């Protein structure tokens, strides 16, 4: 895996000079991070992939507006987050809440869509993964970002600090608080959120 952040500024500079491969390196480096963010927000893998790709397209087109190339990842994260918010607004307009009758039931014509097949081991694992991602996605932005960078991107505290332009102590404090919040909401901390080796 590429060493994150240390040469983002140089890659941005090369991309601004027309080097498409440099932007490709940045895209490959941060695609998983923004895909996870989009999946946390949408809960839909296909939509999350579309959002991640759109975020990269927008970042490429607006690269000249980025003042500090070393903050590329945080900038890309914010672009992705705004796209997720737009997606959620469109979805709310398109799919209003299900109507409920006087007894508190969803009408049969609408509830058929909600029926689920028998649960297999694979589905249970996927549901657990979705539950974890949903819980991370519900964290306030500053906590969700450090959790994503630490546990999904496997970045060190120092790399995260450089990435965000924050002191390492602030990063450690946010991760500690985020971990406590996740433990409260999930019970035990899942294996996926154990400290990277």
Domain range 122-197, CATH class? mainly alpha
Query: Does pLDDT of 190 surpass 80?
Result: no
Looking at per-residue confidence, does 86 or 189 come out higher?
A: 86
In tens, the pLDDT along 13-36 reads: 999 999 989 999 999 999 988 998
The domain limits of the chain are 1-96, 122-197
In tens, the pLDDT along 112-153 reads: 444 444 444 555 666 677 777 778 878 888 888 888 888 777
Tell me which CATH code domain 1-96 carries. Answer: 1.10.1740.10
**HSE-up of 12 (CA within 13 Å, CB side)?**
22
pLDDT of residue 121: 54
**Is the pTM value of this prediction over 0.85?**
no
Beta-carbon contacts of 37 under 8 Å, excluding residues fewer than 6 positions away, are 77, 80, 81, 84, 137, 144, 148
Alpha carbons 35 and 30: distance in angstroms, whole number: 9
Task: Establish whether domains 1-96 and 122-197 are of one fold.
Answer: no
- Of 63, 69, 61, 62, the closest CA to residue 5 belongs to 69
pLDDT of residue 123: 53
Cα separations (Å) of 37 from 1, 82, 189?
20, 11, 19
């Amino acid at each position: 895996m590429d060493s994150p952040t240390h040469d983002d500024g140089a890659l941005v500079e090369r991309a601004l000079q027309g080097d498409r491969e440099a932007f490709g390196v940045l895209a490959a480096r941060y695609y998983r991070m923004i895909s996870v963010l989009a999946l946390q927000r949408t809960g839909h893998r296909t939509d999350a992939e579309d959002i991640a790709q759109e975020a990269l397209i927008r970042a490429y087109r607006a690269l000249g507006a980025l003042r500090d190339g070393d903050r590329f990842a945080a900038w890309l994260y914010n672009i992705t987050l705004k796209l997720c918010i737009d997606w959620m607004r469109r979805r709310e307009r398109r799919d209003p809440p299900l109507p409920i009758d006087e007894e508190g039931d969803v009408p049969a014509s609408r509830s058929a869509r909600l029926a689920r097949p028998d649960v297999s081991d694979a589905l249970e694992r996927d549901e657990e993964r979705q539950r974890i991602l949903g819980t991370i996605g519900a964290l306030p932005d500053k906590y969700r970002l450090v959790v994503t960078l630490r546990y999904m991107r496997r970045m060190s505290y120092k790399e995260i600090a450089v990435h965000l332009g924050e002191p390492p102590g602030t990063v450690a404090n946010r991760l500690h608080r985020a971990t406590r919040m996740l433990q409260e909401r999930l019970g035990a901390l899942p294996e996926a959120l154990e400290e990277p080796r």
